[in-house]
Amino acid sequence: MARVIKTGNIGPAAADDKSSVQRICTGIGILFVVAGCSGVLFPGFLGMHLSLMHNSLHILSGVFAIWLGNSRPNRAFFACLSLGTFYALIGIGGFLMGSPGYPTLGKMQADQNLFKIVPEVLEFGTMDHVVHLVVGCFLLYTTYTFRNQDKK
């Protein structure tokens, strides 16, 4: 007699049960971790000011997003909302409060929107502001586009 085995939420089938917000949250988390690790190797990548503290914040953001992205959909929603708000505010704040100056990190050129949060430790330039704004807006767009999908 043949026996039918149901797999339920084991293995690859579990990935199909994720909401769009969970998938995006996990994906952006992986990108944050990769960006943070890459920033250690290439601190001036694309003209960004990637210090050890900056890269550590990216890695922590990534771990946070991956953790909550693999949790329930409402937690992934919270992660996208909070990270999106944080990065959008950092980007906007950098443009509003940044001023012309020379970064004290590395041997980088002068920047018109240099925002020194902690001099010689955490400094953001124009490219950092642009990337933070793009990531923040993307996460906020995701949050509000898929806010009613599979809230559990």
Give the C-alpha separation, 92 to 84, whole Å: 12
- Note the maximum CA span of the chain: 78
In a domain, 92, yes or no: yes
In a domain, 12, yes or no: no
Is it the case that residue 115 has pLDDT exceeding 50?
yes
Residue 40, domain extent: 19-145
Q: How many domains does the chain have?
A: 1
pTM for the full model?
0.81
φ/ψ of residue 113, rounded to 5: -125, 45
Is it the case that residue 57 has pLDDT exceeding 50?
yes
Which is nearest to 106 in space by CA: 45, 61, 57, 58?
45
In a domain, 131, yes or no: yes
What per-residue confidence (pLDDT) applies to 3?
A: 60
Which is nearest to 113 in space by CA: 101, 131, 122?
101
